Amino acid sequence: MLLDTPICDFGWKAPDFTLKTPAGAAFTMSEHLGERGVLIAFICNHCPYVVAIAERLAADAKALQDEGIGVLAVMSNDYRDYPADAPDKMDAFSKHYGFTFPYLVDEGQTVGRAYSAVCTPDFFGLNKDGELQYRGRLDDKGRGRDDGRVPELLNAMRMIAETGEGPRQQVPSMGCSIKWT
């Protein structure tokens, strides 16, 4: 089912979390927040919308990391009903697309629910205080408005890193619904 995300709730205080990679390494959101903020991407392996942007996400995330902005990806889907999203397949997906950021398993779906994540991909851009400043898509291609009027994720995260605030005009992310248990 195709869904759009809600409009950004500017200033919403994102709850901290600790999740593990499929290999068992634990990562805590607040430890990746830093002075320039953090991007949290809710993604999964089987969604065609994620597959379509995975290479671009890898490149943009690397650029953000090089600029001191944290990046975490969270997989909240029920992988028992959607085995393509199982942890053993997450590692292969991450390697295939060259992810340089942790790709974390939300086993109990608690983080996805706490963030009110709706679809994959669903992007949350937080400032250094952990306040939501961006909730939108990777870019505005596909809606016929790639004219620079609507900042894309990369530019939005750079703005958040510099000013602590995100762009007021944002285009909701669009993708497959998160598969809840």
CB-based burial label for 142 (10 Å; 0-12, 13-18, 19+) = middle
Report d(CA 81, CA 91) in Å as an integer.
19
Nearest residue to 133 via CA among 33, 60, 45: 33
Mean predicted confidence (pLDDT) in 112-118: 96
Per-position DSSP letters for 87-134, written without gaps between them: HHHHHHHHHHHT--S-EEE-TTSHHHHHTT--EESEEEEE-TTSBEEE
Output the pLDDT for position 139: 83
Task: Please list, in sequence order, all residues whose beta carbon lies within 8 angstroms of the beta carbon of residue 37, skipping any fewer than 6 positions away.
Answer: 69, 70, 125, 126, 127, 128, 133, 157, 160, 161
Output the pLDDT for position 36: 97
Q: What percent of the chain has pLDDT over 70?
A: 91
Report d(CA 58, CA 134) in Å as an integer.
18
Output the pLDDT for position 150: 45
> For 7-31, what is each residue's pLDDT tens digit?
899 999 999 999 999 999 999 999 9
The residue among 152 and 87 whose pLDDT is bigger is: 87
Domains of the chain: 2-177 (3.40.30.10)
Report d(CA 179, CA 34) in Å as an integer.
31
CA 140 to chain centre: 16
> For 128-149, what is each residue's pLDDT tens digit?
999 999 999 998 664 444 455 4
> For 51-95, what is each residue's pLDDT tens digit?
999 999 999 999 999 999 999 999 999 999 999 999 999 999 999
Output the pLDDT for position 126: 98
CB-based burial label for 166 (10 Å; 0-12, 13-18, 19+) = buried
CA 120 to chain centre: 8
Output the pLDDT for position 171: 86
Q: What is the pTM of this model?
A: 0.93
